[in-house]
Chain A
Amino acid sequence: MNAPRDTDQIIHAWLEEGPTVLPAPTVRAIEVATRATPQRRRLVRLPWRTRSMANVKLLAGAAASLVLLIGAVLFLGPRDGQRSVGAPIATPSSSPSATGEPSPSASPALETFTSPKYGYSIKHPESWRSTPATRSWTAGQVVPDATHTDTFHPEGTTLGAVVAIAARPIPDGAGDLDWMDDWTRYREGLGGPCFGPASAWTAASVAGVPARRIEAPCDFAQAGQSDFAEYVWVVDGIGYVITGTPSVVDGMVATFQAP
């Protein structure tokens, strides 16, 4: 006959199992994010539900249909065969290399956005509104959702994004090019109304580092046909993805500056 078991001891032992060391990429992500985040100056009592949490809910609600980042971007694309973004957009770059400033005539009024979450800086048309990410995109989340992305869209539009940017530390030991190739293969596997094969990605550069770029048509039942462009690149162990309307993406990415 077995001796009676001490269930509380088992529960205690079970709780002891599991990881106890915060992974280094998470520590690094926190450090990067805090360096880009100002401290609040008001001496107020911390609310039970914080403003950032409210933003998460707000964005999550607004982005209910934005299951994937590219879906978020392209849903605002041209409808009924017309461009409908309704705001000035940068002139497309003539080449996929995005290492120089756009000419003044291409983007006469630009505003610099510094990502509170990821620390990079980028310029967007002055008349566009930016919505910073409220959560960091971590390795466990294969595709960033609306809360992980800094989004940019013209004033007057009601949905989330025309251009979206997210960043995250690449896994320890992964090479920059490997990470980018993994991303293109992931996009290929995603299927759906857009995303071409991994082979459709071309070599490019962003801020002087190697990048991958794709431009492809999409065919959304609700939004009609539209094009999108996407870049992926890595700077100092942080992988970046920008996606959206091609002409705007090309113009913005040319102004990218790492933290």
Chain B
Amino acid sequence: MRTGLVERAREGDHAAFTELIAVDGDRCYAIAYRILRDTERAQDAVQVSYLQAWRELRTLRDPERFGAWLYRLLVNACYEESRRHRRWSVHIRELPVDGPSVADPTITVDDRDALDRAFERLTPEHRVVVVLHHYVGLPHSEIADVVGVPEGTVKSRLHYALRTLRAALTAADEPEAKEVRPA
């Protein structure tokens, strides 16, 4: 179905492109949010990537590869958003307002805070592989294709990022342990 829409959109069919947004837009937004941790910047990244996709659609030789191609545009847009954000903005952590309001009960407030902080310290390149692997479920080889780096680089980035996040969770446990010990 998507391939047919891509072929029609490539011929300038706006309705087909709108359907493509309906097919992939939510997924792209969810990914962008998890990379950027900011709803507005995620919306910007999605918008930029879809505009880019529309503009460059005729350069896509294989319509079957639209999904991976769109992810690549999205990842690049997220990189750009991250860099722009670091240059110009003061960071204000925001709470998502348009997503599921039910938080996972297995995660404590401390866990969430520790992961937020640790993830923020990761580079965009490290964040991307974490999200593509552990949220989207892409294998290393496909991430390498999307990101445009060797598979070994994907693995090493993932290893480093997960080690950082696990360490943050472990560290988040320690203050609690200290608090319960008598002075």
A residues at B contact (CB < 8 Å): 5, 7-23, 26-27, 29-31, 33-35, 37-46, 48-50, 52-53, 56, 60, 135-136, 138-141, 145
Contact = CB atoms under 8 A, between A and B. Distances in A.
A145 B84 CA distance: 12
A30 B51 contact: yes
Given A40-B55, A140-B39, A140-B40, A135 B48 contact: yes
A44 B59 contact: yes
Contacts of A139: 40, 43
Given A13-B107, A43-B58, A7 B166 contact: yes
B134 interface: yes
B71 interface: no
Given A17-B100, A26-B43, A140-B40, A43 B21 contact: no
A60 B169 CA distance: 38
A12 B100 CA distance: 16
Interface residues of B, number: 63
B99 to A, nearest CB: 3
A39 B43 contact: no
B54 A14 contact: no
A23 B43 contact: yes
Interface of B: 10, 12, 14, 17-18, 21-22, 25-26, 28-30, 33-34, 38-44, 46-48, 50-52, 54-61, 69, 76, 80, 84, 87-88, 96, 98-100, 103-104, 106-107, 111-112, 115, 130-131, 134-135, 148, 162, 165-166, 169-170, 173
18 contacts: A7-B170, A11-B165, A14-B112, A17-B100, A18-B99, A18-B100, A19-B33, A20-B99, A21-B99, A22-B43, A26-B47, A30-B46, A40-B55, A136-B47, A136-B48, A138-B44, A140-B39, A140-B41
The 9 closest A-B pairs by CB, nearest first: A140-B40, A19-B99, A22-B29, A22-B25, A13-B104, A34-B54, A15-B135, A20-B30, A26-B43
Nearest to B167: A7
Nearest to A9: B106
Contact of B52 (A18, A23, A50): A50
B21 A30 contact: yes
Contacts of A141: 40, 44
